[in-house]
Amino acid sequence: MNRRYFLGAALSAAAAPAFAGRTFHRSFDQARTLSFYHLHTEDRIDVTYRIGERYQRSALQQLNHFFRDFRTGDIARMDPRLFDLLYDLKVSLGDRDARFHIISAYRSPATNAKLRRASSGVAKNSLHIKGQAMDIRFPDLSTRSLRDAAVKLGRGGVGYYRRSDFVHVDTGAVRTWGA
């Protein structure tokens, strides 16, 4: 082993952790931004809800208000993991700037009971009541393709409602339904 080889190897070994630290730091600080359009209220929101591993409290409060029960105005705490699921779904679809179209998000127990009386497709203990579910569409993508991408993530529940043209996603147990 000659002196140049030894010095080169030593410098490379010393620099590697510093370089890795910068690379890790960049990914650690990655901003996660989501955009939504609510079909019933016609509200729009673009929000950076998480930077690295830190959820942004004010952004989560804005999202809780945005996803309120549009029938009653009731607001609940939405599960931040639902936003992570939607972000990962958006990235998997390759469109980082697209805006999710929201059909339904949080539902108050009263709203859920009313919808349940009108339709057999509404669960008594719906995760919408707990702020853990959303019914969505994605611009310029068939609901079948959206469903397939959500199932591929392997996280939470995915329901396919072909006739109503939406996909249900939630942070509950992994399961699927709908043809």
Whether residue 32 is predicted with pLDDT greater than 50 in this model: the reply is: yes
Give pTM, 2 decimals: 0.82
Quickly state the pLDDT bin for 132 (edges 50, 70, 90): very high
Distance CA 125, CA 123 (A): 5
Any domain includes 98: yes
Read off the pLDDT of residues 66-115 as tens digits, 9 standing for 90 and up: 999 999 999 999 999 999 999 999 999 997 778 999 999 999 999 999 99
Any domain includes 15: no
Domain, as residue range, for 127? 34-177
CB 102 within 8 A of CB 67: yes
Any domain includes 8: no
Residue type, 80: P
Q: What is the pLDDT of residue 157?
A: 97
Residue type, 121: G
Read off the pLDDT of residues 146-160 as tens digits, 9 standing for 90 and up: 999 999 999 999 999
Any domain includes 170: yes
Any domain includes 12: no
Any domain includes 126: yes
Whether residue 18 is predicted with pLDDT greater than 90 in this model: the reply is: no
Q: Which residues contact 45 (CB under 8 A, 6 or more apart)?
A: 35, 36, 62, 63, 66
Residue with tokens 């809780």: 64
